[in-house]
Chains A and B, each alone.
Chain A
Amino acid sequence: MPDHRVHPASYRDPSGFVFQSGSLYYRQVNKSYAQGYEELLRSGLYETLTRRELLLPHTEIGENLTGSPEWYKTLLPRQIPFISYPSEWSPAQLKDAALLTLKILSIATDHGMILKDATPFNIQFIGGKPVFIDTLSFEKYDATLPWVAYRQFCECMLFPLYLQHYLSTGTHWILSAWPEGIPAGVTAGMLPLKSRLRLGVWLHVLLQSRIQQTHSSKDTQAGRGRPEDGGPLDKGWPDGRRPEDRRHLSDGERSVDRRTAFSKEKLMHLVNNLESIVSRMKTDDGKLSVWNNYYESTISSQSYLEAKEKLFRGFIGGLEFGSALDLGANDGYFSRILAQALAEKAEALAPKAGAPTEKKEGVLAQAVIAVDSDWRCIQRLYDLTRLQPSFPIVPLVIDLANPTPASGFHHAERASFSGRARCDLVIALALIHHLALARNIPLTKIAAFLADLTGEYLIAEFVALSDEKSQELIRAKSQWQKGYDESGFEAALAPYFAIERKETISGSVRILYLLKRRGGEAEGRK
């Protein structure tokens, strides 16, 4: 039996799990889900969803790679370039994920199936659009029952989008604080009064909050939990039994117990209502952030940008890289240059269609991860990637002074940003002076962080203290990191990197470095 490692986040659903064997990720289907999996194929749902590129396709491997007695099937899904988390998405990305979930739900019911969960963790961004990745999220649809994942959908997607619509804070904060979804009661407290003018807010937020409060206080008063735990009967239903209790009835019993039955028509009313609400959600308040239009209007001079781009293109022209990470990407001007270079290379190599590409250190070849702490910039870049799906850019909202930590149970469910984002080529343009001068991070620590992320090459821009932008950052400060100069920067990088090229960007006091990671030769690339 080959060595394998079960993914630490893949334990909730007993239908199966994701595991890694060699350099590839697989999904095991357990015997308990055999019926569901066969139904997914038999109903034509899998074919419909993969043909429309809504669901990640897979091939079946007729081998039990884990040795588990629960084994039913092993699936090899098309490998994903990079796993991102909803707390790293811009609001437009979350909105697209919500719409995809509803679309899949609607298509599934037409095939006699339904989604049994609705977490945004089931969705990843590939080629500029969201794709559903959990093949085991479908179950046979019983039209007499409502949607079991309705609350999860609301808490993980609808409520953060409502808060974004009214408060424009970015959804990443909300999903960082509540990774499993923000409760209705908390959302209701945060929404402004004007939101009460919307029927959707009354139905999905306020009603849900009120009913949840009533139920939990009833359960607390009775000193017991849910009905299945022997809790109090619910007077909201004719015989005191909620429909969820009826799920455990046999078909025969259920057929005579239809007084409160749901129907497909009712479910479609609910889904259409959610779809109409989500599609009308505003993801941007139209305000420009400090960094929006940085390259278009706030940048010192056009000639500076042209000179920098020329040098940059010259630097990357001689490099071999399959993955790239743009730190402080702004609206992705340089990410797009990298993505174009990758797309051109991919076209030249013309890989065989459908062939699974090998995963390397958590990142597939052919991906540019573009990160910035400003969600408006990332949202703008996401809008551009939607228009150019051939450019393999994954835009993410990450504050580099406080990147995503490892989290979840045992700190192992969700990997840290550094644990996922190591790339062949890292670029840090017009970034280091912000970390050093605005966030007071010593150059030695910045260099160690960059070394953690860099597989092979680093292109870094050093902005001198005399630069107008650096001066802006220290204007109100009497103290900043000492030793912030060219030699201090080079000394900080020296333990990890060797300087390959160093050029001053003409018309400025900024220097562009091409650095090679020490020890990177072991990777066997040029």
Chain B
Amino acid sequence: MKVIFLYIDPGSGSYLIQAIIAAVVGGLFYIKSGWLRIKSFFIKNKKEDPSMNDHKDA
């Protein structure tokens, strides 16, 4: 049987706290990356606009 010995006390509920934090931060991460995807879609469009104008001007 494999046994891991701890020599420091992880603290009451330390693992529960980490599970909650990882869930919250992970959730925010996905929201943020979703938001960045939407943002980059519009920024890309915006970037395309001046070039289109340039093209027209040319």
Contact = CB atoms under 8 A, between A and B. Distances in A.
Contacts of B26: 265-266, 269
Contacts of A203: 20-21, 24-25
Nearest to B5: A14
A484 B32 CA distance: 67
B13 A270 contact: no
Interface string A138-162: 0100100111111110000000000
A243 B18 CA distance: 11
Given A269-B29, A270-B22, A251 B2 contact: yes
Given A148-B8, A244-B10, A247-B4, A266 B22 contact: yes
B14 A151 contact: yes
B41 interface: no
Contacts of B3: 248
Contacts of B6: 116, 148, 244, 247
A220 to B, nearest CB: 11
B8 A207 contact: no
Given A148-B6, A250-B2, A207 B21 contact: yes
A301 interface: no
Interface residues of B, number: 27
B15 to A, nearest CB: 4
B19 interface: yes
B15 A215 contact: no
B13 to A, nearest CB: 4
A149 B8 CA distance: 8
Interface in B1-56: 1-26, 29
Contacts of A226: 12
A267 interface: yes
Given A139-B4, A250-B2, A266-B22, A146 B12 contact: no
A212 interface: yes
Contact of B15 (A32, A207, A243, A272): A243
Nearest to B4: A247
Contact of A270 (B2, B5, B11, B21): B21
Contacts of B4: 139, 142, 247-248
The range of chain A's interface size is 35 or more
A262 B16 contact: no
A242 B9 CA distance: 14
Contact of B17 (A207, A250, A251): A207
28 contacts: A12-B8, A116-B8, A139-B4, A146-B14, A146-B19, A146-B22, A147-B18, A148-B10, A149-B10, A150-B17, A199-B24, A203-B24, A207-B20, A208-B17, A211-B12, A211-B17, A236-B16, A243-B15, A243-B19, A244-B6, A244-B14, A248-B4, A262-B22, A266-B19, A267-B22, A269-B22, A269-B25, A270-B22
Contacts of A150: 10-11, 14, 17-18
Contacts, number: 106
A216 interface: yes
Contact of A219 (B9, B10, B12): B12
Interface string A117-155: 100000000000000000000010010011111111000
A262 B10 CA distance: 15
Contacts of A237: 16
A262 B1 contact: no
Instruction: Name which of B3, B23, B25 has the most chain A CB atoms within 10 A of its CB.
Output: B25
Interface in A176-234: 199, 203-204, 207-208, 211-212, 214-216, 219, 226, 234
A273 interface: yes
A418 to B, nearest CB: 31
Contacts of A148: 6, 8, 10, 14
A244 B15 contact: yes
Contacts of A244: 6, 10, 14-15
Contact of A236 (B1, B7, B13, B24): B13
A13 interface: yes
A30 to B, nearest CB: 12
Contacts of A248: 3-4
B38 to A, nearest CB: 21
Nearest to A260: B19
Interface in A249-289: 250-251, 260, 262, 265-267, 269-270, 272-273
Contact of A152 (B1, B8, B16): B8
Interface in A82-117: 116-117
Given A32-B5, A207-B21, A244-B15, 8 more contacts: A139-B4, A149-B10, A150-B11, A151-B9, A207-B20, A211-B16, A242-B15, A270-B21
A13 B8 CA distance: 8
A211 B23 CA distance: 16
Nearest to B21: A203
A273 B11 contact: no
